[in-house]
Amino acid sequence: GESVGLHLPTLSVQEGDNSIINCAYSNSASDYFIWYKQESGKGPQFIIDIRSNMDKRQGQRVTVLLNKTVKHLSLQIAATQPGDSAVYFCAETWTGFQKLVFGTGTRLLVSP
């Protein structure tokens, strides 16, 4: 069945470094991909999304890259800050489908 997974369960970086969080997906029919940030005790917070007709999309300090050939998604966070420490999830969905399919998450730890 379809699945969304992550390569690294935990990523530790120093403040000011750039962070890259990776995600692999298996459903070639997916046409929307989303990154969420979840802090302890809170619900997932939308970070950025990308449609399958795009390769790259930039937000404030974040960039999402999509490689449909290898079914790979990444989130780049520039100048990582301690406040970026959280669990990051990628999720996929597709037109006409009502649910989001989440991966298991990557924990980002940022040291001052």
Q: Are 100 and 92 in contact (CB under 8 A)?
A: yes
Q: Taking the complex as a whole, how short is the minimal distance between the CB of residue 102 and another protein, in angstroms?
A: 3
Least distance in angstroms from the C-beta of 88 to another protein: 10
Q: Which is nearer to another protein, 22 or 93 (CB)?
A: 93
Please say which residue, 16 or 71, places its beta carbon nearer to another protein: 71
- Least Å distance between CB 32 and another protein? 5
Instruction: Report the residue number, 20 or 32, with the smaller CB distance to another protein.
Output: 32
